[in-house]
């Protein structure tokens, strides 16, 4: 039995509370290393967290923008100041390399600071009525109590880009982070608590999604749900929210295309694909998983990309020379290896993709390239969420665009080309929420909308000032003198 002092508790109504169970947070680079022990909440704790948030809502929604600005700004400042230490925790619990993890922590700090400013900038409209003697105003009000459900792959940035706008616009929050990576979410909870977030305004409940997440999403005290994760869970949450007529925002998977035209600069294309497909161990919803390559550049591109991919150093996330960290856990590793076998059975030539042994027990896998495959193969249609990419050869721009759009998803899409016409046409005609020209499909700014189309996303966009669409509701008021 663990000593309670060693256990990171749930934050409910301003108090750190034990849960019904305790879960070790395991380092995927070295499974002997336990990052910490985290309490799993039970159903009663979910009730208490929602109740605490409901009780805190009247005062917080009326607190005004200065208070919200100051809280978010203080959290952002501390995240930036402690980026190395928190980045280290992130690399240990999720497995992305230390520079990637520090970069993600900086991003979380920037997001908090951005929404600190947005709290002060929320505007409305004042219009003349079509009827004489009447004033019309259109204002935004907080939605109420929002449930935030987050995945393991960006354990600090995704909680940050949901929590910060929720609080900036006057909502109260119950956050359920992924069970695999509760550590970074717990740090944000600690910082909010430390910098004076009133009791109940922000609550953290950790534990399994199928129990804690499910209870939270269907709780009658919740007004809105923002979710990032798999399509299957997203669909389930959408069904529950539809039945309860509850506002919902979903960010789900991708099968993002990167087109490489004959007129591309070869090095630009190779670097964009290496980064987009394999960095962060391919565990990004915006990862380039379909490389759609025109026939003239195909062989040279595959030759250079294959060599550079095989030269990438896979190792412990904290090791200075690692370029790719481990896969997040055994389950995800087995899923990746399943798809690599599937690629072989679908007649693709596979470069790399083997299980790797290191001097410590971890979930190491070489990145994989599937050559000679088609867009109809399962490996080109299903999200793998690992360091694996299909290469699909095409004749010309029109075929490249058709293949790029022939997918259930529509999150991010890229093209490498030196032709203004190809770049412009692609930007106009590709069916994706985000388009990159001569840049990797992954890697976005924090002050502009993030989100996709088709099966990738549902509901209003996240991030930037557009986040107000989800985290506020409109009120139109008519007043006669
Ligand atoms: P999930 O969709 O299962 O998990 C995302 C979040 O939802 C986690 O916090 C999870 O909790 C929670 N959750 C799970 N089931 C429920 C439920 N019934 N009700 C409410 N919340 C729930 O994705 P995973 O993290 O397990 O990853 C599986 C696959 O999803 C990956 O292989 C990848 O393909 C995809 N994925 C996509 C992401 C993206 O950004 N597009 C991000 C992460 C995953 P818990 O983890 O504690 O069970």
- The answer, yes or no, to whether any atom of ligand 1 lies below 6 A from the CB of 152, is yes
Q: What residue's CA is closest to ligand 1, atom 12?
A: 209
Query: Which residue, by CA, sits nearest to atom 40 of ligand 1?
Result: 285
Task: Examine the pLDDT at 4 and tell me if it is beyond 90.
Answer: no
> CB of 37 within 8 A of CB of 23?
yes
Q: How far apart are CA 449 and CA 260, in angstroms?
A: 25
Protein residue closest via CA to atom 4 of ligand 1 = 229
Ligand 1 touching residue 151 (CB < 6 A)? yes
- Taking residues 347-353, report their average pLDDT: 94
Measure 230 CA to ligand 1 centroid, in angstroms. 5
Q: pLDDT confidence of 307, banded at 50, 70, 90?
A: very high
Say whether 245 sits in a helix, a strand or coil: coil
Cβ of residue 178 lying under 6 Å from some atom of ligand 1: yes
For 285-294, write each residue's pLDDT tens digit. 999 999 999 9
| Pairing state between β 434-437 and 288-294 | unpaired
Q: How far is the CA of 89 from the centre of ligand 1 (A)?
A: 21
For residue 468, report the distance from its CA to the centre of ligand 1, in Å. 24
Of 48-52, 116-120, 344-348, 364-368, the poorest mean pLDDT is in 344-348
Residue among 95, 182, 229 whose CB has most ligand 1 atoms within 8 A, to mutate: 229
pLDDT surpasses 90 at 313: yes
Q: How far apart are CA 44 and CA 60, in angstroms?
A: 24
> Which residues, listed in sequence order, are joined to residue 25 by a DSSP beta bridge?
36
Expressed in angstroms and rounded, the spacing between residue 238 Cα and the centre of ligand 1 is 14
Is the distance from the beta carbon of residue 181 to the nearest atom of ligand 1 less than 6 Å?
no
CA of 176, closest atom in ligand 1: 9
Ligand 1 atom at shortest distance from the alpha carbon of 150: 9
Atom of ligand 1 nearest to the CA of 383: 34
Judge contact between 362 and 332, C-beta under 8 A: no
Name the average pLDDT for the chain. 97
Q: Are 178 and 162 in contact (CB under 8 A)?
A: no
Which helix or strand (DSSP H or E) is residue 332 part of?
helix 330-345
Q: What residues pair up with 139 in beta bridges, in sequence order?
A: 475
d(CA 214, CA 90): 26
Considering the chain, tell me which residue range(s) the CATH 3.40.605.10 domain(s) occupy: 4-252+456-480
Span 256-437 CATH architecture: 3-Layer(aba) Sandwich (3.40)
Is the pLDDT score of 238 beyond 80? yes
Report which DSSP code applies to 435.
E
Q: Is the CB of 382 under 6 A from ligand 1?
A: no
Pocket test for ligand 1, best of 25, 46, 151, 153 (most atoms within 8 A of CB): 151
Considering the entire predicted model, what is its pTM?
0.97
Sign of the dihedral defined by the CA atoms of residues 195, 196, 201, 207, in that order: positive
| CA–CA dist 144, 164 (Å, integer) | 15
Query: How far is Cα of residue 302 from the mean position of the Cα atoms in its chain?
Result: 29
pLDDT of residue 481: 79
- Ligand 1 mutation pick, 40, 233, 444, max ligand atoms within 8 A of CB: 233
The percent of residues in the chain predicted with pLDDT above 70, rounded, is 99
Task: Give pLDDT tens digits for 85-106.
Answer: 999 999 999 999 999 999 999 9
Mean pLDDT of 105-116: 98
Burial class (CB in 10 A: 0-12, 13-18, 19+), 416: buried
Encode pLDDT of 258-283 as tens digits.
999 999 999 999 999 999 999 999 99
Q: Is 252 in the pocket of ligand 1 (CB under 6 A)?
A: yes
Mean pLDDT, residues 196-214 taken together:
98
Domain with CATH 3.40.309.10 in the chain: 256-437
CA 410 to chain centre: 15
For residue 109, what pLDDT is reported? 98
β-pairing verdict for 434-437 and 412-416? parallel
Residue 248 has pLDDT above 80, yes or no: yes
**Is the C-beta atom of 208 inside 6 A of ligand 1?**
yes
* Centre of ligand 1 from the C-alpha of residue 147, in Å: 15
Q: For residue 137, how far is its CA from the centre of ligand 1 (angstroms)?
A: 40
- What 3-state class would DSSP assign to 371? strand
- Tell whether the model's pLDDT for residue 1 goes beyond 60: no
Q: Residue 105 has what pLDDT? A: 98
Q: Write down the pLDDT at residue 347.
A: 86
What class is the 4-252+456-480 domain? alpha beta
Q: Is the CB of 401 under 6 A from ligand 1?
A: no
Model pLDDT, residue 447: 97
CA distance 454 to 308: 33
Question: What residues does 147 pair with on adjacent strands?
Answer: 174, 225
Q: Which atom of ligand 1 is nearest to the CA of 207?
A: 47
Instruction: Inform me whether the pLDDT recorded for 5 exceeds 70.
Output: no
Which phi-psi region, left, alpha or beta, contains residue 138 (left: φ > 0; alpha: ψ -120 to 50)?
Answer: beta
- Residue 203 confidence class, pLDDT cut points 50, 70, 90: very high
Atom number in ligand 1 closest to CA 178: 9
CB distance 462 to ligand 1 below 6 Å: no
The residue contributing the CA closest to ligand 1 atom 11 is 209
What is the DSSP annotation of 156-198? Answer: THHHHHHHHHHHHTT-EEEEE--TT-HHHHHHHHHHHHHTTPP
74 pLDDT higher than 70: yes
Return the active site residues: 251, 285
The predicted pLDDT at position 190 comes to: 98
Ligand 1 touching residue 271 (CB < 6 A): no
Strand partners, 21: 40
Our answer on whether the CB atom of 253 is closer than 6 Å to any ligand 1 atom is yes
pLDDT in the model for residue 2? 59
Distance 229 CA to ligand 1 centre (A): 4
Report phi then psi at 427, rounded to 5: -60, -40
């Amino acid at each position: 039995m663990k000593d309670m002092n060693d256990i990171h508790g749930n934050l409910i109504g301003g108090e750190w509370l034990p849960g019904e169970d305790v879960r070790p947070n395991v380092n995927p680079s070295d499974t002997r290393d336990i990052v910490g022990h985290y309490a799993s909440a039970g159903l009663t704790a979910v009730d208490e967290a929602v109740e605490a948030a409901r009780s805190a809502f009247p005062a917080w929604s009326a607190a005004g923008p200065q208070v919200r600005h100051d809280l978010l700004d203080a959290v952002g400042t501390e995240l930036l100041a402690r980026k190395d230490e928190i980045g280290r925790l992130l690399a240990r619990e999720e497995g992305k390399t230390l520079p990637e993890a520090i970069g993600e922590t900086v991003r979380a700090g920037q997001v908090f600071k951005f929404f600190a400013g947005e709290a002060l900038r929320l505007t409305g409209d004042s219009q003349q009525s079509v009827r004489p003697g009447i004033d019309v105003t259109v204002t935004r009000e907080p939605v109420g109590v929002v449930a935030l459900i987050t995945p393991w792959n960006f354990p600090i940035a995704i909680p940050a880009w949901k929590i910060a706008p929720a609080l900036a616009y006057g909502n109260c929050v119950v956050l359920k982070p992924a069970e695999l990576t509760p550590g970074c979410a717990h740090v944000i909870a600690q910082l909010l608590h430390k910098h004076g977030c009133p009791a109940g305004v922000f609550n953290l409940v950790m534990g399994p999604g199928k129990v804690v997440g499910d209870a939270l999403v269907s709780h009658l005290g919740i007004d809105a749900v923002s979710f990032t994760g798999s399509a299957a869970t997203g669909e389930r949450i959408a069904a529950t929210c539809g039945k309860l007529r509850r506002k919902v925002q979903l960010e789900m998977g991708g099968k993002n295309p990167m087109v490489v035209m004959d007129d591309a600069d070869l090095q630009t294309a190779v670097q964009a694909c290496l980064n987009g497909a394999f960095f962060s161990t391919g565990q990004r919803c915006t990862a380039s998983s379909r490389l759609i390559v025109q026939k003239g550049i195909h062989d040279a591109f595959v030759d250079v990309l294959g060599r550079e991919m095989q030269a990438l150093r896979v190792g412990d996330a904290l090791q200075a020379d690692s370029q790719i960290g481990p896969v997040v856990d055994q389950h995800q590793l087995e899923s990746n290896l399943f798809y690599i076998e599937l690629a072989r059975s679908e007649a693709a030539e596979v470069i790399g993709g083997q299980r790797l042994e290191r001097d410590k027990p971890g979930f190491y896998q070489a990145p994989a390239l599937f050559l000679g495959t088609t867009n109809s193969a399962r490996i080109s249609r299903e999200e793998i969420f690992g360091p694996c990419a299909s290469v699909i050869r095409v004749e010309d721009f029109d075929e490249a665009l058709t293949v790029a759009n022939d997918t259930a998803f529509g999150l991010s899409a890229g093209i490498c080309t030196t032709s203004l016409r190809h770049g412009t046409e692609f930007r106009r005609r590709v069916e994706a929420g985000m388009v990159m020209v001569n840049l990797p499909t992954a890697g976005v700014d924090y002050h502009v909308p993030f989100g996709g189309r088709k099966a990738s996303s549902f509901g209003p966009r996240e991030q930037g000032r557009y986040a107000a669409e989800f985290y506020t509701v409109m009120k139109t008021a008519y007043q006669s003198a």
